[in-house]
Amino acid sequence: MRWSRSQSGLEAAIRLARKYGISEDSHDLVAMTTEKLTAAFSRRTERLPNVVSDEGAIRYAYRSMANLAIDLARRQRSESNALVSLARITPVPHGPDQSVTSQVFIEELFTALHQVTSNGFTCSTCNDRVTYAAATEVLHLALLEGSDAAVGETWFDDVIYSVVDRYEGGMSKSSAAQRQRRSRCKRCVMELLQASLAHMGVRRG
């Protein structure tokens, strides 16, 4: 724990963030590693068998940080691919007919979303109520603003984050923990929307 918060730990985080091209900065990676180690230690009732010296403890902490960086990089690539698929939900309207078709599609997706949720869709990493609320807000935005809603990648994050913050307002969590929570909920919303598309027989991305 001392190493992860030290200058050496920060320098390692900088190298790993650059190596794997993750969006989190080095300080975030340090904070997330510390939380990961704290959670891992809280579940243990015995000493780590291979950690018998400071050097061994540093190796363990570094491996934890590196594995976390790899997981974040994989998640980032997965989310980027899913956003491309999600943007296709709202085709660019070229006229009144296309606009009506787009609105009907979103309305049908609302129905599918409700049916998939009613059938017991769950996400292991996020609150189901938050996932459903965020997914419906995404569709409301797409219905109201059409293809303009799917410009760039920040719009989707903004919707997810606002819902998570609203449902978890007042909870005392570090900024790193809040980012992890938002990221987990974002993946769950992606899964729910993709499951809803599949329920309609639509295969995208």
pLDDT 10s digits, 20-46:
888 777 888 898 899 888 888 888 778
Which pLDDT belongs to residue 184? 75
Cβ(93)–Cβ(99) below 8 Å: yes
Q: What is the pLDDT of residues 131-187, one digit of tens each?
A: 888 888 877 776 665 544 444 456 677 777 788 777 766 555 666 667 777 777 777
Domain limits of the chain? 2-78, 90-199
| Section 62-78 average pLDDT | 84
Please state, in angstroms and rounded to a whole number, the distance separating the CA atoms of residues 22 and 113. Answer: 31
123 close to 86: Cβ distance less than 8 angstroms: no
pTM (predicted TM-score): 0.53
Question: Which tokens is 180 given?
Answer: 């992890």
Tokens 């018998």 identify what position? 52
A 10 A CB-CB count for 87 gives 20
pLDDT given at position 27 = 86
> Element (H or E) spanning 35, and its range?
helix 26-42
How buried is residue 4: exposed, middle or buried, by Cβ count under 10 Å (0-12/13-18/19+)? buried
Distance CA 181, CA 184 (A): 5
Please give the pLDDT value at position 91. Answer: 47
